[in-house]
Chain A
Amino acid sequence: MNDQWAETGMGMIVLAVAAIFLIYAFSVGGVATGRGGYEVSARFDQVGSLAAGDAVKLAGVKIGTVSKITLDPKTFLAKTNLDLDPTVKLPADSTAKITSDSLLGGVHVTIEPGGSASDLKAGGEIENTQGAVDLFGLIGQVMRPQSAGPATASGEAAGSPATQAP
């Protein structure tokens, strides 16, 4: 009987520690909502590996998180909802970019403040957006250039690889 209680007690402790870690992780990660932030949206033509919970940064400082990513069925653009720190007021013509943390992956949204005199309001949309750029695709094209100058064009075979079909 005593053994059973000890095991149950141990289980409780493990669960409690797990819960504490979960709360800690959420608070540090800033996923927790309802802290009085305001939400704006931004539509990108390509979000790459961006996911809900990723950071929104301005000048490298975290000012919010990506709260939701959905597909706009009409325009086929990826619509992201950004939950921003209420103390940060962004100019209306700010730009949102999807930036890589490193070459190996990990992305976040970078806000580049614009110069407009009016500020973006809660529920507003960041209209200037730069989606994720396929870095490796671009590197690949530099490694095997598709069209050299007219002088060397004759040297190229017709079998140049097709990368993008419009």
Chain B
Amino acid sequence: MAAFAQAAAGRGGGDPSAEQFVQTEAQKIIAVLADKGKSKAEKEKIFRQLVDQVADVPKVTNFVLGRYARTITPAQHQEFSTVFREYAENVYQSRIDSYHGEGLKVTGSVARKPGDAVVNTVIGGGQIRQPLPVSWRVLNTGGGWRVVDVQFKGVWLAITEQQDFVSTIDKAGGNVDVLIAQLKRDIQQQNAGK
């Protein structure tokens, strides 16, 4: 862990406050994951509270709907927000038990413009033999930095998820309810597999 303790100072084009944000939040998450005194249920509860400090959930929720965010009804939006949050949380919670001392180190950042940066990190240690480069797109629209997307091997997660969701809605002839129903089924399967 000591090797991953401090952020390396990035060169010119970076944004130190964005780097600081990613490092601090990662440290918080790792502290919870590594806490052997807490049960899995307790950890899940803490993560549910942490999520809004780390990620811009409303923004991501709108983003993954793509062009359908314009046409969705308020009732559908409400329902999708709830279901999407649970879906996303489930994906990460299923990994809580597989934490074995991995750490995150910020290696630099690229400031695309003020309040919009991509922070590059490597995740290593624990059971990871080769450090994994992961990048975080963070935005600051006045209320502090929030993560809106994650990149691994050149692929952005939210952009890929948007593609996935939009094509599901496309296939259903533009009916968002079909996507909501599918996410609910996925959540049930995840819960059954726990």
Contacts and interface: CB of A to CB of B under 8 A. Distances in A.
B133 A164 contact: yes
Contacts of A3: none
A117 B72 CA distance: 12
A146 B130 CA distance: 8
Contact of B66 (A115, A134, A147, A153): A115
A114 interface: yes
B153 to A, nearest CB: 6
Interface in B139-194: 149, 153-156, 159-160, 162-163, 166
Contacts of A132: 154
B128 interface: yes
Nearest to A131: B154
Interface of A is mostly: loop
Interface in A25-53: 43, 45-46
Contact of B131 (A115, A116, A117, A166): A166
Contact of A115 (B62, B128, B149): B62
Contact of A162 (B66, B112, B127, B130): B130
A143 interface: no
A133 B153 contact: yes
Contacts of A128: 63, 149, 156, 159
Interface string B102-130: 00000100111000101010100001111
A96 B71 CA distance: 21
A160 B155 CA distance: 23
A97 interface: yes
A137 to B, nearest CB: 8
Contacts of B13: 74-76
Contacts of A93: 62-63
B25 to A, nearest CB: 20
Nearest to B122: A166
B154 A75 contact: no
Contact of B166 (A76, A112, A147): A112
Interface string B64-94: 0111111000000000000000000000000
Contacts of B70: 91, 115-117
A43 B112 contact: yes
Contact of B67 (A75, A113, A130): A113
A135 to B, nearest CB: 10
Contacts of A155: none
Contacts of B63: 93, 114-115, 128
Interface in A78-136: 91, 93, 95, 97, 112-117, 127-128, 130-134
11 contacts: A45-B154, A77-B112, A93-B62, A95-B162, A112-B162, A115-B65, A116-B69, A131-B154, A147-B127, A147-B128, A166-B120
Interface of A: 43, 45-46, 74-77, 91, 93, 95, 97, 112-117, 127-128, 130-134, 137-138, 141, 146-147, 150, 153, 156, 160, 162, 164, 166
- 9 smallest beta-carbon distances between A and B, as pairs: A115-B69, A113-B67, A166-B122, A133-B154, A75-B110, A74-B13, A75-B13, A166-B133, A130-B159
